[in-house]
Structure 1
C-alpha cells in the first residue's frame, strides 16, 4: 500500500492552491493521492488554475478511482462560508477535522503517509481545538512513546527538543531524558532516509553552550550526560556545542543533523537558508507526517501566486522515509 494523503490545512490560506499546483506539476501522484479537506474549494481553485483533472468526493481512501483527484471531505462547507485570507473558526474547524480524518485513515492502514498543508493556530483555537499546531495534534491522536519536530532541507537538518511553548518553558524542557529521546529519534530517522551512521551535533541552550557553567548549567547537568549516554549506545553524537556556530558547521558538512533546544533556535537558520525547500516532519509516531515548512500566508491567499516547492519536497521526503 503506497497511497498517501494530503490535508488542505486552513481553507482560508494557501493550502488548497499549493496542493493543486503540486499535483498539476506531478500528475503521476493523482492515482496514489487522497486529499482531505473541502471538495468545493478544491473545485473552485481547480477552475481558477486550469487543472485538467476531475475532482471526485469519496467516503474513504480505498474508494478512490484512477485518473482523478479523490477527496475525503469530513466537513463540507460552501464557498460563501470560507473567508479567504482571514482567520476564522470555520478555517480552524475544517483544518482540524481534515487532520483527524487523515490520521484515522493512516491508523487503519488506508494511507501510508500524511502530508499537511499549513493551518492557523489562532483559527484552531477559535474553533475550540486547544492545540499548538500539527505536531501536537499528531502527538495526541497517533501513537508513539515519544515524538519530535524535525526540519529537513538539503542544506540543513534540525530536530527540536521543544517547539510550541514559551521560551521560559523551553528552558525547563531541557532535561536529560528528553535530550536522549531526541538524539535517538534523529539517529533512527536519518538511518531510515539512508544515512548509514548519521553525524549528530547537539546545540547548547545558553550562549557559548554555558561557558563551563558561567552562563548556566543546563549543558553540564542535563545535555552532556544525555550525549554521553547515547554515545555509549553507539550513536555518533557530539555536544553540547555553542549554538552560534554549530549550524554553520552543519552547513559545512561536519554534521548531518543538529539537535536544537527550542523552536526559534532551529527554525531561524533553516528558514534563512532554505525557506521554500524546507520540510517539517513529525518523527517517532506510528503515523508518518511531513509538511510544508511555512504558514497559511493569508496575505496572498486567493491570489494564485503561492509556490508549491515545499509541498512537493514534503511528498518526496515522506515517500523516502516510508520506503
Structure 2
C-alpha cells in the first residue's frame, strides 16, 4: 500500500529535533500511515541514534525517488552544512540556525515540486536563526515568504478539538484592538475554507467570547455586542456555519466533545491554554493557507535536555500522523 510522502526538516541540529525524529521513525505505526523522509544531516542523525540508543539504519540519498520508505531505515536527504563531530548540543549556534533554515527551504521546494505531500516540522531556535542572520523569527514567517503566501492561518488540533486564532503574537491590549467585526468576518470565512481543504464536512465554527459570560449583554464589556456578534452575523450571511460568541469557559469543552468542528480563539493564550491543558504533547499545529499541508510540533528546541536522550517523541509522532491523515483529503479539495 502506498502512502503520502511526508518531509521532515530536522530542525535545529543542536536541539532535540534530531532526537525526536529518530525516536518517532523507530515506530512501525508511522510507516503504517506514511512514507517519511528526513531533510537534514546524516551525521547529526547518526549522533541522535547513539544518544537515544535507537537501532535504525541511515539511507543517505540525494532525491526523493531514491528513498526506500522501509521501516528500520531512515531515508535522509543530507545537506553538508554541519560537522556532527564538533557540534555542541544545547547551545545557540549561528551555523545551526542557518542549517535549520536550509532544511526548511529544501523541504518547501520539494513540496512545491510535488515530490512530497506535506511537511511535518521539528523545532527551530529563534536565537540561533538571528545569530545565523536568517531574516525570519519562525516557521510561519519563513513559509509565508518562501511560498509567496499571505497571512497563513494557524490551527491547533488535539484529540477531536480544532482551534483557530484571530490574533497571534501581540499583547492582549493590542489583540483586543484587532478584534473588529471585519476581522471576525474575514477569519470565519478563512477558517471555513481551511476546514474544507482538510476534508472536514460538518463545519460548525464557534467564536469564543472575550469577556466573562461573553459580556452578558454588555454588563461585562461591549466587545461581543459591538464587534464579535456583527462579524459573526456577516459571516453567517455569507454562508458560513458560525455561532457565538460562546463563553470561553465552556466553548472548548463543547468542541472537545464534538459540538463544534472548530473554535475561533480570540487571542494567543486563550486557545493555547485550552489545547495544552487537554493534552500538551498531542497538541499539533497546522498552518493553513499554504500551497501544501504543514503540521508542526508545538514545543521548542529544549536546549536544556538536548543530548541526554530523554526528549519525548509523542508530539513528533502525532505531527507525522496528522500530516498523513489530512494529506489524503487536502489535495482532493484543492483539485476541485
Q: Note the C-alpha offset of 1:207.
A: 4.3
Residue 32 of structure 2 is aligned to residue 55 of structure 1: no
2-side partners of 1:181 and 1:81: how far apart? 50
Deviation at 1:139, TM superposition (A): 1.7
Q: Distance in 1 between matches of 2:220 and 2:144?
A: 33
5+ residue gaps, structure 2, are: 329-336
Q: What is the Cα deviation at residue 215 of structure 1?
A: 5.2
Is the contact made by 1:30 and 1:66 (CA closer than 8 Å) also made in structure 2?
no
Q: 1:6 to 1:271 in 2, by over 3 A?
A: same
1:128 Cα deviation after fit: 1.9
Paired residues of 2:34 and 2:321 also in contact (CA < 8 A): no
Q: Which moved more, 1:200-209 or 1:29-38?
A: 29-38
Q: Answer yes or no: is 1:116 the counterpart of 2:121.
A: yes
Cα distance between partner residues in 1 of 2:55 and 2:204: 45
Which residue of 2 is the match for residue 8 of structure 1?
Answer: 10
TM superposition shift of 1:145: 4.8
Tell me, in whole angstroms, the C-alpha distance in 1 between the residues paired with 2:150 and 2:251. Answer: 28
Selected match of 1:226 from 211, 226, 231: 231
What is the TM-score of this pair, normalised by structure 2? 0.86
RMSD, aligned α-carbons: 2.5
Match of 2:45 in 1: 42
In 1, Cα distance between the equivalents of 2:86 and 2:151?
Answer: 38
List per-residue Cα deviations over 1:117-147 (Å, max 9, x = no partner): 1112222222223433212221222244542
Q: Name the counterpart of 1:301.
A: 306
Would the aligned equivalents of 2:36 and 2:69 in 1 still touch at CA under 8 Å?
no
- Could you state the TM-score of these two structures normalised by the residue count of structure 1? 0.89
Distance verdict in 2 for CA 1:109–1:206, change over 3 Å: same
Q: Secondary structure at the match of 2:207?
A: strand
Runs of 5+ consecutive residues of structure 1 not aligned to the other structure: none
Query: 1:132 aligns to what?
Result: 137
1:75 shift after superposition: 5.1
- Find the aligned partners of 1:210 and 1:130 in 2 and give their Cα distance: 41
Moved more, 169-178 or 272-281: 169-178
Query: How many Å separate the matches in 1 of 2:234 and 2:172?
Result: 26
Q: Work out the CA distance in 2 between the residues paired with 1:220 and 1:307.
A: 44
Q: Partner residue of 1:20?
A: 22
After superposition, what is the alpha-carbon deviation per residue over 1:190-218, rounded to whole angstroms, capped at 9, x for unaligned?
Answer: 34445321221111334443444565544
SS in 1 for 2:89: coil
